[in-house]
């Protein structure tokens, strides 16, 4: 299984990728829910989206989940949508308990590593830290993205709120 995943990763991500410049159109991505339902990221077009790639057992990811919960409750009525995709081993089984434990008020799905690496524009040599955060405007354009080595600015609630609010008011 691990060999197959490694081969898939080699096909999904370029060997020597440089994170594409911002802003850029959000590539296609499908979020798989624990129920098996597949939701295309494009179905959230028209909303300001914060998409976080998380590990269910990561304390930084859990802290981000709580911040996104708060932002979803406060800014959701204005057109904000938080989403999370777990990608740690066993995520398919772990997501339901994660959602229950943290009382998540937004969709949480799961994915394997290769499609996430391809979406983010990372190379096979990158070893990304979690959480990874992507901020997408109403038109489906990525406005901010965590680099593979991480960026605490996109985990800071005040900075994230300021960015979201600026995108919510932009026309």
Q: What is the pTM of this model?
A: 0.87
pLDDT bucket at 56, cuts 50 / 70 / 90: very high
> Is 116:87 a contact under the CB 8 Å cutoff?
yes
* pLDDT tens digit sequence for 19-32: 678 899 999 999 99
Give the Å distances, CA to CA, from 170 to 47, 105, 125, 126. Answer: 12, 25, 37, 33
Residue 12 has pLDDT above 80, yes or no: no
Residue 6 has pLDDT above 80, yes or no: no
Predicted pLDDT at 82: 98
Weakest-pLDDT range from 13-17, 67-71, 108-112, 160-164: 13-17
> Is 56:89 a contact under the CB 8 Å cutoff?
no
Q: Identify the residue with better confidence: 124 or 73.
A: 73
* pLDDT tens digit sequence for 66-117: 999 999 999 999 999 999 999 999 999 999 999 999 999 999 999 999 999 9
Rounded CA gap, 109 and 37, in Å?
9
Rounded CA gap, 81 and 46, in Å?
10
**C-alpha angle 71-74-75 in degrees, rounded to nearest 5:** 75
Residue 89, CB half-sphere, CA atoms under 13 Å: how many?
3
């Amino acid at each position: 299984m691990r060999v197959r995943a490694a081969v898939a990763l080699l096909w999904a991500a370029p060997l020597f990728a440089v994170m594409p410049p911002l802003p850029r159109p959000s590539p296609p991505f499908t979020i798989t829910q624990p129920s098996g339902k597949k939701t295309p990221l494009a179905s959230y077009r028209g909303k300001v989206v914060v998409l976080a790639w998380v590990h269910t057992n990561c304390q930084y990811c859990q802290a981000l989940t709580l911040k996104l919960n708060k932002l979803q409750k406060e800014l959701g009525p204005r057109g904000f949508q938080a989403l999370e995709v777990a990608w740690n081993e066993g995520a398919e089984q772990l997501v339901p308990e994660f959602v229950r434990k943290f009382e998540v008020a937004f969709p949480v799905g799961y994915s394997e590593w290769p499609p996430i690496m391809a979406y983010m524009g990372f190379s096979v040599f990158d070893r990304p830290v979690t959480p990874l955060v992507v901020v997408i405007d109403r038109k489906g354009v990525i406005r901010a993205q965590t680099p593979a080595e991480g960026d605490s600015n996109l985990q800071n609630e005040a900075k994230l709120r300021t960015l979201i609010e600026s995108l919510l008011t932009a026309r």
